[in-house]
Amino acid sequence: MNHIVIFGECMIELVTQSARHLVKNFAGDTFNTAIYLKRCAPALQVDYLTAIGNDAQSIELCDFMQQENLGIDWVKRSDTRHLGLYMVHTDEAGERTFTYWRSESAATQTMNLFTSPLPDTELFYLSGISVAILDDSQRHVLVGKLNDLRRRGAKVAFDLNYRPALWKNSTEAREWADRLYGMADISLSGVDDHAQLYAHHSVSDIVLHLSQFSIDEKIIKNGASELVVNTPDGNWSVPVEPARTVVDTTAAGDAFNAGYLAARAKKMDAVEAARYGAKLAAFVIGYPGAITPPEKALPAL
């Protein structure tokens, strides 16, 4: 695999350092995955598909993407909207809470601005958040474009990443999640997300639900507990490497997804890829914020 397109939203991230001190970064679930994927596999072409504004913050984001060697040919511009923003507060245990300002962001109009077919690629990656921020008509456009892309031979990877506040109700969220699962070749979803959306409280419940879809690789993340890898070749439990230090759990799942896809791009099998994804996630949560400093070397792949 030589080329991956990742779709979603990048926002301004403000991390609370003290009551009057914030640190600004750029982050977002699929954007975090794109950054870590490119860092893990520098030879892989990683393009990010989104919409941004023409304001100073959007220009800074484009500069940052280029510094991280992400492809920006599929970044669309809005003349009337700008980047969304979120603020992170992290407690002493490394758990975080978020406050968002994103409803009028440029990314919520991506499919209205993206009028051409999706770019040819070997893999297209998106999350439940990527779909949730779009209105219903844009979701239908996205699904149509994905079907066209699949007919051209591309595979689809999907992470449920359920955020209740982004959906009208759970019924709507389940309908669209199942539609995306029905298009996915790789699923990278977590037990917590399935518990919230489907009331699936065990890995076996999730495997049973996903068995109705033609998903070749089902990867089920379960926090610090063992991962489950389910493929046509078998079913495996993969121990999670414990983190030496937990500073901030932001982007743990995003980093896992990046590590998994990077390893699969390098032709490692699904179990080896899951092990590496877990190792990368353990590394990332040892640093504050979603994106680790570029000078910090990632675990060897």
Task: Give catalytic residue positions.
Answer: 254
Report the b/e string of 186-196 with b at 16+ CB within 10 A. bbbbbbebbeb
Q: Please enumerate in sequence order all residues whose Cβ is within 8 A of that of 17, keeping only pairs 6 or more positions apart, or say none.
A: 23
Structure tokens at 132: 């949730």
Question: What whole-number distance in Å separates Cα of residue 299 and Cα of residue 147?
Answer: 35
Cβ(189)–Cβ(160) below 8 Å: yes
Please report the DSSP string for 224-282 in residue order: TS-EEEEETTEEEEEPPPPPS--S--TTHHHHHHHHHHHHHHTT--HHHHHHHHHHHHH
Structure tokens at 105: 């962001």
Cβ(32)–Cβ(255) below 8 Å: yes
Closest CA to 77 of 118, 107, 104: 107
Question: What whole-number distance in Å separates Cα of residue 132 and Cα of residue 111?
Answer: 12
Question: What whole-number distance in Å separates Cα of residue 134 and Cα of residue 110?
Answer: 8
Cβ(1)–Cβ(122) below 8 Å: yes
Closest CA to 264 of 292, 231, 298, 242: 231
Report the DSSP beta bridge partners of residue 217: 186
